[in-house]
Amino acid sequence: MGMQLSEFVGAVEAKVAKKLIAAAADESAKAVKGDVSAHQKVWLAKAEKDRASLVATAKVWATRQAGHRVICPACESAALVVGEPISAPIQKLEGSEITETQEYLPTQFECVACGLKIAGLSRLTAVHLADRYKKTQVYDAAEYYAPQDDYHGFEEDNNER
């Protein structure tokens, strides 16, 4: 048809689509499956009591850290992917709260239970962890629009008698 991808889906979506296409075509990234298999073998060799403890630790860790929770392909524990924003944040005012939503494309994965770490979109694509995710944050409108205090953490200096 003689048209560019950006003419169909827009410049931002076309950029993301090109990254995903390149990641899917990267044959060398499929070597990460060997890493997953190796971590899985080590995981299964651990005692049941140790695995249960590590799963509990991973669940707490994944809750407290910033990122998107996923299931580890090696040990099936709670793990995180983090990434780069691919869209502008969308803000909605609802009552006295501002809800901000932004879409991300994963770039890194980490599981503290089995120690598996994966970096790069193409490697994440090979193990089916490259799905987009949305991050949502809720702010109090008064705090969001209030001016920043330049002297936060300092006591007021009042020398008058």
The token pair at 16 is 């993301």
The token pair at 132 is 């987009």
Mean pLDDT across 62-66: 83
Residue 24: exposure state from Cβ atoms within 10 A (0-12, 13-18, ≥19): middle
Residue 54 pLDDT greater than 90, yes or no: yes
Residue 87 pLDDT greater than 90, yes or no: no
Mean pLDDT across 9-26: 71
Mean pLDDT across 20-46: 81
Beta strand 117-119 pairing with 97-110 = antiparallel
**Is residue 99 within 8 Å of 136, Cβ to Cβ?**
yes
**Taking the domains of the chain in order of start, what are their residue ranges?**
30-145
Residue 93 burial (CB count, 10 A): 10
Q: Among 11-20, 52-61, 96-105, name the one with the lowest average pLDDT.
A: 11-20
Residue 160 pLDDT greater than 80, yes or no: no
Cα–Cα distances (Å) from 50 to 43, 46, 59, 69, 117, in that order, read: 10, 6, 14, 22, 20
Phi (first) and psi of residue 88, to 5 degrees: -75, 150
Residue 98 pLDDT greater than 70, yes or no: yes
Query: What is the percentage of the chain residues whose pLDDT exceeds 70?
Result: 81
159 vs 142 pLDDT, higher one: 142
pTM, two decimals, is 0.69
Cα–Cα distances (Å) from 90 to 129, 136, 138, in that order, read: 24, 9, 12
